[in-house]
Amino acid sequence: MIASLGLILFCQLVGEAIARSLALPVPGPVLGMALLFVVLVARDRARPWAPAFLTSGEVETTGKSLLAHLSLLFIPAGVGVVRNLDVLAANGVALAAALVVSTVLALLASVATFRLVSRLTGGG
């Protein structure tokens, strides 16, 4: 558990360092995600040499427990929104309409494109 947590934090740290130093438009933790993915795949290629915590399924368990309550993690930022709703006062109607319609359109466009290309490329 603690070694896995260390690995996850380390991946985030490396991700943040790369994102900041190269001024990349990708969040550090997303690069950390890519790095952890590479670590997991590399582990399978070199199982005999991998440390025990990597092969025992511990990283998977720790990762899943962090994700089990993903909604909880958005609450502090969400409360900030409730406390700052006055920034919406100036253009409230335009913004509300834009958010609702645009979210529906974005969902529609993405899902339709995904299904279309999936069928065209024989992915079912």
Task: Identify which of residues 56 and 95 has a Cβ nearer to other proteins in the complex.
Answer: 95
Nearer to other proteins, 55 or 79 (CB): 79
Give the closest residue to 43 by CA, choosing from 33, 34, 53. Answer: 53
- Tell the smallest beta-carbon distance from residue 85 to other proteins (Å): 7
Query: Cα(96)–Cα(59) distance, rounded to whole angstroms?
Result: 41
Is residue 8 within 8 Å of residue 62, measured between CB atoms? Answer: yes
Query: CB of residue 91 vs other proteins: minimum separation in angstroms?
Result: 4
| Cβ at position 68, least distance to other proteins in Å | 8
Smaller CB separation from other proteins, 52 or 89? 89
| C-alpha–C-alpha distance, residues 49 and 39, integer Å | 13
CB of 6 vs other proteins, minimal distance in Å: 11
Looking from the CA of 13 toward its CB, the CA atoms found within 13 Å total 6
Nearer to other proteins, 50 or 88 (CB): 88
- Side chain identity, residue 69: H
